[in-house]
Structure 1
């Protein structure tokens, strides 16, 4: 970065290193340290590097000054989230930070790079981190049959892995959200916490198969209420049989129809046996 300052007849050019990359994870597990990395470069005629400073919010938590001994300093903060260690050189500075144990807390971290005097030009970048244990895998759909019958009732279950905050689950049928009564909006079930206070979520879907469609697509979408929201989803398809299975007559309540079909089949078999017996008797004569 170059700043042109004019004082009377004098022109002073103050230049600073450029921050090329700031790596702050979007989500951080409070049970693990978060690693933050700041990369910077200087142009050919830039002054030497003076210092690199890390801030959490407005509080300085770490400083690297290559011309001082020792070159690094750690500053403790009263609100937690202190630095445990740092490794810096003339082109990058990495620190490890302890995160607070309060889930869904949003933290801002700033890397500030300054060059030597007389103007000590400064550049800085800021990124945010949300304290959360995000879902590591997509949710799992259980109860998927190979083929479904027209008019059949199907029950599917969607389950997530352990996370915090727990995910809310929504089902989509052929791209449209499941039709729900008002009392079903927050109908996602959540497990008891484990030793790390992590929870899994699950939700069932009751589906009546439309006899006029060849297939049904479903999607289970799990959303963690973080900032920003974290979403993972799984898709599946149900293939509808072309002709109804015999058991569907009884499933739909048409017991008499099923009985009539069975009687007709039995009568046909008896008739065939009678004809065969008559033919055998004639052959013997």
Structure 2
């Protein structure tokens, strides 16, 4: 008997007729913005009975075109429907949620379509949504010079914008994680909105073995939010490393240039004064 029931249910839910053609819902939703849910379906000449929306198997919205009122809502923690922002018909159903919170609004959202008798077919689709307060921008790198002499200490600070959950910062030198050179990787206390930022100090000795083509080192700071399925955001800076010999040669060239400029002045000034003198004499004679 149980096997027969399973077979009948499978036939009713998988047979041709009703089709859920598309479900649009964000993978990650920001608490600062409303979240839109959109379900599109094709009745294929069958009669629509109801469109229902669930969060974690708890129904929070129902649309029944042949009953009054057409719309019904049910309380589910973390789900706050904008009362005027819904649009449902015989081919789609669109909702807008506001007041999102990370612990309560994250979860599995399901759109379920059902037909009238005698078929009573069902079609549904479920998508997982992660709710977070995203940082307003990528990380910032501060404290770097454009070039360093081999053996000098390179110090740079990377900081993130506030977010929830607290961000994770990772320093990379030429795309290799630099955890051994990372210091003070600490999160701040949550602010009044419960948001946390993080900063991490990178300290290492400049060596030419770190450098790439052209004696350049790429420093990269990445920030990611744990449990949030988004790619890391990054800030990238490049610095050059000079050997002691290269640095000394640059200093010598600068000194030579200054010396040549100074040596040229004694020969230039007398000629300049002579030109001025003869110009004044010619003007006086006229």
The 8 Å contact of residues 104 and 227 in structure 1, kept in 2 or not, is answered as no
Answer yes or no: is 1:54 the counterpart of 2:48.
Answer: no
1:120 shift after superposition: 1.7
Q: Distance in 2 between matches of 1:89 and 1:241?
A: 69
1:112 shift after superposition: 0.4
Match of 2:283 in 1: none
Superimposed CA distance per residue, residues 71-97 of structure 1 (whole angstroms, 9 cap, x where no aligned partner): 1111123x3424343221222212233
Q: Distance in 1 between matches of 2:82 and 2:199?
A: 38
Larger helix proportion, structure 1 or 2? 2
TM-score (normalizing by structure 1): 0.71
Alpha carbons of 1:74 and 1:114: their partners in 2 closer, same or farther (altered >3 Å)? same
Q: Distance in 2 between matches of 1:111 and 1:89?
A: 14
Match of 2:90 in 1: 90
SS for the counterpart of 1:245 is helix
Q: Distance in 2 between matches of 1:48 and 1:200?
A: 53
1:177 shift after superposition: 0.9
1:127 shift after superposition: 0.7
Alpha carbons of 1:16 and 1:145: their partners in 2 closer, same or farther (altered >3 Å)? farther
Matches within 5 A, 1:56-71: 56-71=55-70
Alpha carbons of 1:157 and 1:16: their partners in 2 closer, same or farther (altered >3 Å)? farther
The 8 Å contact of residues 223 and 230 in structure 1, kept in 2 or not, is answered as yes
| Runs of 5+ unmatched residues, structure 1 | 7-12, 250-260, 274-285
The 8 Å contact of residues 171 and 179 in structure 2, kept in 1 or not, is answered as no
Q: Distance in 1 between matches of 2:88 and 2:74?
A: 16
SS for the counterpart of 1:238 is strand
Alpha carbons of 1:103 and 1:63: their partners in 2 closer, same or farther (altered >3 Å)? closer
The 8 Å contact of residues 160 and 223 in structure 2, kept in 1 or not, is answered as yes
Alpha carbons of 1:131 and 1:99: their partners in 2 closer, same or farther (altered >3 Å)? farther
Q: Distance in 2 between matches of 1:67 and 1:14?
A: 24
Q: Distance in 1 between matches of 2:104 and 2:59?
A: 22
TM-score (normalizing by structure 2): 0.71
Match of 2:196 in 1: 199
Matches within 5 A, 1:137-216: 137-180=137-180, 187-212=184-209, 213=211, 214-216=215-217
| Runs of 5+ unmatched residues, structure 2 | 1-6, 9-13, 264-286
Q: Alpha carbon RMSD of aligned pairs, Å?
A: 3.3
Count how many residue pairs are aligned between Structure 1 and Structure 2.
238
Match of 2:71 in 1: 72
Q: Distance in 1 between matches of 2:234 and 2:96?
A: 32
